[in-house]
Amino acid sequence: MTGTLLMDSSLLANAETVVARARAGDTRALGELYRAFEVPVYNLARRICRTTEDAEDVLQETFFEVCRSIGRYREEGSLWGWIRTIAASKALMRLRRNKYRETDELHDEAVGHKREDTHLRMDLEAALERLSETSRAVVWLHDVEGYTHEEIANMMGKTPSFSKSQLSRAHARLRTWLGEENIP
C-alpha cells in the first residue's frame, strides 16, 4: 500500500502530530483531518453512490466515525488506508440501505437485445454511472482504489467469487457501452 502512504504525506504533511492532537480530543486537529481527506473521501463515496446527497451523507458519516474512533487507529497502516476503509464501508452500507434499483439490469430487460445491436457509444463517466450500484462499487474499489477481491468481499459480506464475477460482468458491459467490441 505504498500509494496510500504517499497519499498521507501528500495530503497531510504532519500527519503524526495531527493524529496525536486529534486523539487527545483537539477538535481543530479533527478539522485538519477533515480538510486533508475530505476530497478523496467524497470522490470515493460519489463514485459508489448514485446521488451527490448520498455521497455527502457518506462524507459526514465517515468523518463522524473518524472523530469517534481516532483513538483506535493503529499507526501500522496508512492513515488514508484507514479512513478510506471507513468511507468504503459507509458507502456500501448506504447502498444496502437504499436498495437502489439495479439500473443496468432493468435497462436490459426493457431493451432486450436491441442495445447489443445499436452499439451506442458513451463516454466512460456515463458508462460507469450506468452500471448497477454493486458492479460500479466493485469496479471502483478494485480497479481504482486497489482493493483485492477478498477485501471487497469482506466489506460487502459476499464471497471473493462474487466480487470477481461482478468485475468481469461490469467490464463486459463497459466494453459494449464504450463501443470497444468492434475495434479490431
Partner 1 sequence: MTHLTMDALVGLREPGTEPGQAAAREHLNQCAHCQAELQRLHQRVARLKALPTLRPSRDRWPETKARFSADRRRRRTRAVGLSGLGLAASVALFFAVGDLPRTPDDPTTDQLSQVMERSSLLEGAISDYNPGGRVLDGRTARIAGELEDRIARVDRQLEATELLRQQPDDRDLLKLWRERVGLLDALVDVHVTRASNAGL
Distance in angstroms (rounded) separating the CA atoms of residues 43 and 20? 26
Q: Which residue number, 97 or 110, has a Cβ lying nearer to partner 1?
A: 97
Phi, psi of 156 (to 5 degrees): -90, -10
Shortest approach of partner 1 to residue 143 CB, angstroms? Answer: 5
The residue to which cell 468485475 is assigned: 167
Judged by CB under 8 A, which of 76, 117, 125, 157 binds partner 1?
125
Shortest approach of partner 1 to residue 165 CB, angstroms? Answer: 7
User: Is 29 near partner 1 (CB under 8 A)?
Assistant: no
Q: Which residue number, 9 or 52, has a Cβ lying nearer to partner 1?
A: 52
Q: Which residue number, 48 or 79, has a Cβ lying nearer to partner 1?
A: 48
Shortest approach of partner 1 to residue 29 CB, angstroms? Answer: 12
Judged by CB under 8 A, which of 12, 19, 36, 47 binds partner 1?
47
**What is the per-residue binding string for partner 1 in 61-100, x denoting contact by CB under 8 A?**
x-xx--xx--------------------------------
The three cell numbers locating residue 83 = 479512513
Shortest approach of partner 1 to residue 159 CB, angstroms? Answer: 15
Please provide the DSSP assignment of the chain as one string. -HHHHHHHHHH-TTHHHHHHHHHTT-HHHHHHHHHHHHHHHHHHHHHHSSSHHHHHHHHHHHHHHHHHHGGG--TTS-HHHHHHHHHHHHHHHHHHHHT---HHHHHHHHHTTHHHHHT----HHHHHHHS-HHHHHHHIIIIIS---HHHHHHHHTS-HHHHHHHHHHHHHHHHHHTT-TT--
The residue to which cell 452499439 is assigned: 119
Q: Which residue number, 60 or 118, has a Cβ lying nearer to partner 1?
A: 60
- Point out which residues bind partner 1 (CB under 8 A): 27, 30-31, 34-35, 38-40, 42-43, 46-47, 52, 55-57, 59-61, 63-64, 67-68, 124-125, 128, 139-140, 143-144, 149, 164-165, 167-169, 171-172, 174-175, 178, 180, 183-184
